Amino acid sequence: MRTIAKPWGQVFNLEELRSALETHRPAILALVHAETSTGARQPMEGVGDLCREYGCLLLIDTVTSLGGVPIFLDEWGVDLAYSCSQKGLGCSPGASPFTMSDRALEKLARRKTKVANWYLDANLLGKYWGAEHVYHHTAPINLYYGLREALRLVAEEGLAACWQRHQTNVEYLWQQLATIGLSLHVEKEFRLPTLTTVCIPAGVDGKAIARQLLTDHNIEIGGGLGELAGKVWRVGLMGYNSKPESCDRLVAALKQVMG
Ligand SMILES: *Cc1c(COP(=O)(O)O)cnc(C)c1O
C-alpha cells in the first residue's frame, strides 16, 4: 500500500491523482469522499475515468456522505463503496451499505487464489445475498428493518431535498459561527455539509470548551485529530440533527461558554 497526502483539510485535484497513479500504478485507488477528520469533501468528478485509464479500481469511503452529501456512484465510475447506517441516514449503527461494480465483480471472479478471510469474502456474501441464499452468517434483520425505515424517511423527504436540507442548514451554521467570531478550517468550495471543522481561536483551551459544552449543555463536539489536534473542533450536523434549531443551540452555548 502507498499513501498520498495533502495538508489536512485540502483535497486532491485530478492532476495530482493522475501523477500518483502514474507513479504507483496501484490495483485500487482508495479515497475518502467525506473526510470527517478534516471536514473536506473530495470531488469525485473524473476520478473514475482516470482509474479506467490506469486500469485500476476506484474505492470510496462514503461513511459520512450517504444521505447528507450528493453521491453519484455510476456517474463517477466508482467500483466499490461502503457506508454506514448511523450518520446521514440517522439509523441505529451496525448495518454497512456496500456496493460493487461489474468491473469489481469481474476482478473478483478472475482471482486465482481464494479470498483469505471468511467475513469479507464477497463471493460468499454474494451467494448469501443473491438467489442462491447459501448460509454465510446470521443477518441482523432487526437492523435491516431499521435501515429500511431510515431509507423510507429519506425517500419521503426526497433524496435531493434531503441533500439540500443538509447544505442549507450547514450554511446557516457557518454564518452563525461567523457572528461569534469563529472561522472555519476548510475552503468553502470543499467543505462538507455533514461535518464542519471550526478553528479554535488563539488562547482558547479547545478541550475545556468542548468538555463544558458537554457537561453544561449536553452538546458533544469532537476535537481535532492528527495535524489538526488542538487546532479545530469538529461539529457534526447530519441526519435528524441537521436543522436550524441544532445550529442555534450550539452557537448560543458556544457563545456562553467562551464568555
Ligand atoms: C465514521 C467514519 C468511519 C467509521 O464508521 P463506523 O461506522 O464508526 O465504523 C469511517 N470513515 C469515515 C470517513 C467516517 O466518518
Ligand 1 contacts CB of residue 63 (under 6 A): yes
Q: Tens place of pLDDT for every residue, the chain, 259 residues?
A: 999 999 999 999 999 999 999 999 999 999 999 999 999 999 999 999 999 999 999 999 999 999 999 999 999 999 999 999 999 999 999 999 999 999 999 999 999 999 999 998 999 999 998 999 999 999 899 999 999 999 999 999 999 999 999 999 999 999 999 999 999 999 999 999 999 999 999 999 999 999 999 999 999 999 999 999 999 999 999 999 999 999 999 999 999 999 8
The position carrying cell 436543522 is: 243
Which CATH class for the 14-83+96-139 domain? alpha beta
Query: Topology of domain 159-257, per CATH?
Result: Aspartate Aminotransferase, domain 1 (3.90.1150)
Tell the residue nearest (CA) to atom 9 of ligand 1.
Answer: 84
What sections of 158-189 are H helices per DSSP?
159-179
Ligand 1 contacts CB of residue 79 (under 6 A): no
Q: Give phi and psi for 98, each to the nearest 5.
A: -145, 140
190 grid coordinates? 470543499
- Please report, as a single letter, which amino acid is at residue 18: R
Report CA(182)–ligand 1 centroid distance (Å): 26
Report CA(64)–ligand 1 centroid distance (Å): 7
- Please report, as a single letter, which amino acid is at residue 201: P
| Summary count for the chain: helices (H), strands (E) | 9, 9
Report CA(142)–ligand 1 centroid distance (Å): 21
What sections of the chain are H helices per DSSP?
14-24, 47-53, 73-76, 102-109, 122-129, 141-157, 159-179, 206-217, 244-257
- Residue range(s) in the chain whose domain bears CATH number 3.40.640.10: 14-83+96-139
Cβ atoms within 10 A of the Cβ of 208, count? 10
Which letter, b or e, does each residue of 127-160 get, where b requires 16 or more Cβ atoms within 10 Å of its Cβ? Answer: eeeeeeeeebeeeeeebeebbeebbebbeeeeee
CB 40 within 8 A of CB 10: yes
CB 194 within 8 A of CB 67: no
- Residue range(s) in the chain whose domain bears CATH number 3.90.1150.10: 159-257
Q: Model-level pTM?
A: 0.95
Our mutation pick for probing the ligand 1 site, out of 11, 33, 35, 36, counting the most ligand atoms within 8 A of Cβ, is 36
Report CA(211)–ligand 1 centroid distance (Å): 23
**Calpha distance 241→178 (Å, rounded):** 20
CB 170 within 8 A of CB 237: yes
Helix (H, G, I), strand (E, B) or coil at 15: helix
Closest of 2, 81, 42 to residue 187, by C-alpha: 42
